[in-house]
A and B are shown apart, each in its own frame.
Chain A
Amino acid sequence: MPAIVEVDHLTKNFGSVRALDDLSFSVAEGEVFGFLGPNGAGKTTTIRILLGLLRPDAGTARIGGHDCWNDHSRAAPLFGATLEQPGLYGYLSGRDNLRQFARIVGPVNERQITDLLALVGMTERADDKVKRYSMGMRQRLALAQALLGRPRLLVLDEPTNGLDPNGIHGLRLLLRRLASEQALTIFLSSHLLSEVEELCDRVVILHRGQVRAVGPLVELMNSKGYVYQIDVSDVDGALAIARSIDGVRAERGTPSDSITVFSDTDLARVINRALVTAGIEVDQLVRTQRGLEDIYIELTGVPSASPLSAPPSEVAVP
């Protein structure tokens, strides 16, 4: 599939702080693309450049082949976007907010607005003023706004911000539906790794303005190896046997009658055979692929939900 988003050697500074440092990646048409990184990694800066709100200092950002800053009027009809803080007119109703944006994105009739309100579950409150909406309701209305004019690309910056668990679940279902039924390309920036893991085909992990990893989610997780939890009759013996196998690292596990084994490739059968041949009884061998969270922590150095995710030395930039 051709790329709808092309980011090429993008650099952006805010004063002395380098927010983006030679960033390059692309998003193919029709894929759900996850955009990950801790606070201050440069996610919002990248999104604002894509939206034509910030001018890059070097490099280019293109949507549908059109430069996002210099050729914004051609790039803009191709996408709809929501930002972390939904930008809506509080003194207008939800329906009037959609009417405002519908007029400028092209032919959108009243029926389509009603359908969009229904799609995001806002029909009942559509005629209330937005200033009376909860954060979750604003997020949903912002999503409806982004979908006006049937864009080819949906750019979502923390779309689950403020949503309750039901809302988050509903949004995931909706995004999955949009991606499969309408072949919409979704560019999803999120802190919720489980959400990205569940929805995205490909991800880029960003740290301090640089790409740390990019690629299909499955490959990314496979490339980082496998973990086995093995319950054995003789822990010390099992550790010695496991450590004698090439490409394997082993340590004591939890509970105490188990060992944890790490390998870059899938060696489950090899390990099992070696243990059994050595007379060690194997009660259970559980193979787990390393999760996105493990990869994220390894690449960015800190747990995603940790307060350390924005290190003191790193100045938070928009």
Chain B
Amino acid sequence: MMLTILVRNELEKTWRSRWMVFAVLAGLFLLIAAGLYSFYVYHDHRWSPPPPVAWQTQLRSDIANNQSTLDNLQVVKQQAGTRGRTLFNGRALNDAEAQLHQAIAADQYLIDHDIAPLSAYSMTRAALFGFGGIVMFLLVRIFGWLASEQIAGERSDRTIAILLSRPPSREQVLLAKAIASFLISLAVVLVSFLVAYAIVAFIMGSLGPVTGQVGIAIDGSKPLNPDNLVTMPILLFLLMCIGAAMLAVLCVQGMSLLISVLTTRWAAIGITLAILFGASLLSGVVAGIISLIGSAQSAHFLNYAFFNVLAPVGSIAPVFGNGATEVGKGMHEFGSEVATLAVWTVGFFAAAWFFFRRREEAG
């Protein structure tokens, strides 16, 4: 009962103090939708959605396109033999050729076995775009910022003393703040998904089915076969994506709350945003240096850093394009990122709880 009251209080405080952030987010969603629609009208010279295309037809078209690219590649390869060129679209010729062969084989396998890829339907594609793309990248950082103010803001406003002197325990206060942060972010994420779904459905010309099965590669680096493919209902896939995306949000909120417990408002916001924006960049530089010195495999340990796995949905399959498989994508990678996030999330919340219940508020 007390927890419910505290959560209600936290929701009210967040809304009343930060409604402008949510208004800006809503405006941003509208702008993105309007921009995409304008581009569509300009590009396709039509105001209404295009006619829907069956996924089998789309895959056959992709096979034809990939075959054409492969033919071009053969020509480039022959020329490279005489001119010494070894790259095609920035990749080694043999790698590019192998990847195209694999993509064609994967598409053909899906057609032959009547298994729809994730790109087949509006809902699954919107899930990949909404939960694994740039939108989620930004949202996670905004949620981190908001959570970092939860306790540090009260400390800066001097309200923490009165709040903690009241009957609820510190554990209840912390838990209520975590739950309120999570509920707000869940609402925003679901709205952003609905916007993404509407946009994708418009582009694909159909809302698509909500029942039926989709196929996902287990290891995107290997050819599709019965041992390297998992099928699941569309709605289950959607739930899986929501769960993974919210786990990433929860992980960031755990980190932000930990920082919030230890500092004051501006320090908490600064440290949180520095980690969320700077750490993955720094990690990329470190990975580059390690790759130059040794092998890319040597930098693999960086995949255990939470800031490098904040978009696990993006690791299921390519967000854009029609590829069913890709190196570094698939359920295996997804599971690994989710497990990494889960461990960090538990660690962050445990540390926040540990420090908050012992911290003295000297004013």
Residues of A near any B CB (own CB < 8 A): 14, 44, 48, 51-55, 72-73, 76-77, 79, 81, 83, 85-92, 96, 100-101, 103-106, 142, 145, 318
Contact = CB atoms under 8 A, between A and B. Distances in A.
Contact of A53 (B5, B13, B161, B168): B161
Contacts of B162: 81, 83, 87, 101, 142, 145
B165 A89 contact: no
25 contacts: A14-B362, A48-B361, A52-B164, A53-B165, A54-B360, A72-B169, A76-B165, A76-B166, A81-B165, A83-B162, A83-B363, A85-B363, A87-B159, A87-B163, A89-B159, A90-B157, A91-B17, A96-B16, A100-B9, A100-B12, A103-B8, A104-B2, A104-B168, A145-B162, A318-B363
Given A54-B360, A76-B165, A104-B168, A87 B6 contact: no
Interface string B191-218: 0000000000000000000000000000
Contacts of B168: 73, 104
B321 interface: no
Contacts of A79: 165
B160 interface: yes
B60 interface: no
Contacts of A103: 5, 8-9
Interface of B: 2, 5-6, 8-9, 12-13, 16-17, 157-169, 358, 360-363
Contacts of A89: 13, 16-17, 157, 159
Given A87-B162, A96-B16, 17 more contacts: A53-B164, A54-B361, A55-B360, A79-B165, A81-B162, A81-B165, A83-B363, A85-B158, A87-B157, A87-B159, A88-B159, A90-B157, A91-B17, A92-B16, A100-B9, A101-B166, A104-B9
Contact of A44 (B13, B16, B363): B363
Contacts of A52: 164-165
A135 to B, nearest CB: 13
A22 B360 CA distance: 20
Contacts of B360: 53-55
Nearest to B17: A91
A55 to B, nearest CB: 6
Contacts of B13: 89, 91-92, 100
A91 B6 CA distance: 18
B24 to A, nearest CB: 17
Contacts of B8: 103
Contacts of B159: 87-89
B5 A48 contact: no
Nearest to A317: B362
Nearest to B358: A55
A66 to B, nearest CB: 11
Nearest to A14: B362
A197 to B, nearest CB: 27
Nearest to A84: B363
Given A89-B159, A104-B2, A53 B361 contact: yes
A89 to B, nearest CB: 6
A104 B166 contact: yes
B161 A51 contact: yes
B159 to A, nearest CB: 4
A154 to B, nearest CB: 12
Contacts of B164: 51-53
Contacts of B358: 55
A10 to B, nearest CB: 14
A77 B169 CA distance: 12
Q: Lowest 4 CB-CB distances: which A-B pairs, in order? A: A51-B165, A87-B159, A53-B361, A87-B162
A89 B13 CA distance: 8
A142 B6 CA distance: 20
A76 B167 contact: yes
A91 B163 CA distance: 16
Contacts of A106: 167
A73 B2 CA distance: 12
Contacts of A87: 157-163
Contacts of A77: 167
